[in-house]
Amino acid sequence: MDEKIPTIKEMKKSRQVPDELKARVKEYGRIKKEILKALETKRGTIPEIAASTGLRQEVVTYTLMTMRKFHEIEVEGLDDMDEYYYYRKAEV
């Protein structure tokens, strides 16, 4: 029983996070900040958010759905044409 079991700290030292993953996480954070900034003063639909941030609608949709999953934004009804939901920052 002289064998030492590595602690979590030691295991983390031996594992490396790929640079690609680090870049993707950093990019997600940047996109999330842009969307939150756009929703800071008013609610918006996906096309409105995409237009104000300059991001593609697919990127905005993916990020909004992720943010909604983690309760960072909330849905606030449908637009007049019943095509898009309005999103706003979640109240903490």
Domain 42-92 has CATH 1.10.10.10: yes
Query: Taking the alpha carbons of 49, 55, 61, 67 in that order, is the dihedral positive or negative?
Result: negative
Q: Are 63 and 69 in contact (CB under 8 A)?
A: no
- Residue whose entry in the numeric block shows the structure tokens 């920052």: 89
Name the residue ranges covered by the structural domains of the chain.
Answer: 42-92
First to last CA, the chain: 51
pLDDT given for residue 15 in this prediction:
83
pLDDT, tens digit, 9 for 90 and up, residues 2-60: 677 778 878 777 888 899 999 999 999 999 999 999 999 899 999 999 999 999 999 99
The C-alpha atoms of residue 5 and residue 84 are separated, in whole angstroms, by: 54
Please tell me the predicted confidence (pLDDT) of residue 1.
Answer: 53
Q: Model pTM? A: 0.79
